[in-house]
Amino acid sequence: MELNRRTVIAGAAAAGMAATAFGGTAHATGGRKPVKELFGKLADGTKVYRWSLENGGTRMKVLSYGGIVQALEIPDSRGRYRNVSLGFDNLDDYVASSPYFGALIGRYGNRIAKGRFTLDGKDHQLSVNDGDNSLHGGAQGFDKRVWDVEPFSQGSDVGLRLYYTGVDGEMGYPGTLRSKVTYTLTRDGDWRIDYEATTDKATVVNLTSHVYWNLAGEGSGSIYDHELSIAASRYTPVDSGLIPTGELAKVAGTPFDFRRSKAIGRDIRVAHQQLLYGKGIDHNWALDKGITSTPEHVATLRDPSSGRTLKIATTEPGLQFYSGNFLDGTLVGTGGSVYRQGDALCLETQHFPDSPNQPSFPSTVLRPGQTYRTTTVHSFGA
């Protein structure tokens, strides 16, 4: 049974249980004006700020570098808060070696084969940073850029507006792309992301967020016991370089069938060719609902040990589910623990990987005069 979130949080606050790294609990249920502090400096002296915001019992810390969600704290049913997203406690680690922890991804989420595509008869060569392929926007994607951040508090919502302009030719992409991403915490503690972009030349765009979730708390061990459901009857199988073959394969009868909630670890060791290619799950689900004008529910994640839940709704047609396969015990996270394979998972709402080279996939082309708009909502419960 799911308890009413605000009741739980109010109860926990009354019992004095809500104090955390966020310091103080003045209004555990109410919106708190985003607070800014210096987080660090880049090698060229650019200052990076960290914003703390809180509403409806959800607490977030966001960096101006990469729009990174550095921490996201939510309570369990007894009001015990944990940071449920992987990250680092310092800027240098993000710059040196982050596997996109918590970051905004652009200009193109996931892979483009050989970093090449043709648009309106013109060939483009992108920055190649993943074997032969371009991953997450290339070597210096939006995750490694400093965004302009503007806090807001509107009605019962609080949030941040993040702005970044990618110049024409950056990482090989045509067109000046002006992006605006809005992070909103609602009075119910939902985290909503609204992505917008415009361009001055035809280009391709696929923005997403790369939070690594562990609902038991970052650094607490593996997510293989988390239960997940995904409203998708098909997924996009890949080749050995994790580029979609173009097929929309049925999930029925495969380890990729999450139409009914199941533990992530249940089938992850099945000797299925696709799991061998991904070193686990690293695939895009073609959501049954397709592209929608308003966000529709597509996935539910639940940690049985804490009871915490995450529900995802999106306007996007795809969901990349990545089971943290490349975490290899070499990174030390926010809480001081080492992250190992399977210690978190990502659920990246998106258009399909390599769409610029796959005529049968929904288009990722954006033209001058058009506005790119997508929305994803994360709802937390316990």
- Residues near ligand GLA, by CB under 6 A: 99-100, 110, 135, 242, 282, 320, 322, 326, 346
Q: Are 18 and 25 in contact (CB under 8 A)?
A: yes
- Closest distance to ligand GLA from the beta carbon of 110 (Å): 5
**Between residues 53 and 344, which has the closer beta carbon with respect to ligand GLA?**
344
**Between residues 110 and 315, which has the closer beta carbon with respect to ligand GLA?**
110
- Closest distance to ligand GLA from the beta carbon of 345 (Å): 9
CA–CA distances in Å: residue 3 to residues 10, 12, 77, 156, 308: 12, 13, 7, 21, 11
Q: CA–CA separation, 270 vs 126, rounded Å?
A: 35
Sequence-ordered list of residues with C-beta below 8 angstroms from that of 114, at least 6 positions apart, any chain: 128, 132, 133, 134
Q: Which is the catalytic residue, given 316, 348, 351, 378?
A: 348
**Between residues 159 and 278, which has the closer beta carbon with respect to ligand GLA?**
278
- Closest distance to ligand GLA from the beta carbon of 302 (Å): 21
Q: Is 316 a catalytic residue?
A: no
**Helix or strand or coil: residue 195?**
strand
Q: Are 68 and 95 in contact (CB under 8 A)?
A: no
- Tokens (6 digits) for 7: 């009741």
**Between residues 179 and 323, which has the closer beta carbon with respect to ligand GLA?**
323
Closest CA to 138 of 162, 117, 109: 109
Q: Are 202 and 366 in contact (CB under 8 A)?
A: yes
Q: Scan for tokens 């926010």, then name that residue.
A: 334
- Closest distance to ligand GLA from the beta carbon of 326 (Å): 5
Q: CA–CA separation, 65 vs 95, rounded Å?
A: 9
**Between residues 51 and 352, which has the closer beta carbon with respect to ligand GLA?**
352
- Closest distance to ligand GLA from the beta carbon of 165 (Å): 24
Q: CA–CA separation, 254 vs 267, rounded Å?
A: 9
Residue nearest ligand GLA (C-beta atom): 322
Q: Is 210 a catalytic residue?
A: yes
Q: CA–CA separation, 66 vs 22, rounded Å?
A: 21
DSSP string, 321-375: EE--TT--S-EE-TTSPEE-TTS-BEEEEESPTTGGG-TTSPP-EE-TT--EEEE
- Closest distance to ligand GLA from the beta carbon of 163 (Å): 24
**Between residues 22 and 108, which has the closer beta carbon with respect to ligand GLA?**
108
**Between residues 135 and 264, which has the closer beta carbon with respect to ligand GLA?**
135
Q: Scan for tokens 């949030």, then name that residue.
A: 159
- Closest distance to ligand GLA from the beta carbon of 96 (Å): 15
Q: CA–CA separation, 356 vs 376, rounded Å?
A: 22
Q: Which is the catalytic residue, given 54, 136, 170, 210?
A: 210
Other Cβ atoms less than 10 A from the Cβ of 83: the count is 24
DSSP run (H or E) holding 106: none
Positions annotated as catalytic residues are: 210, 348
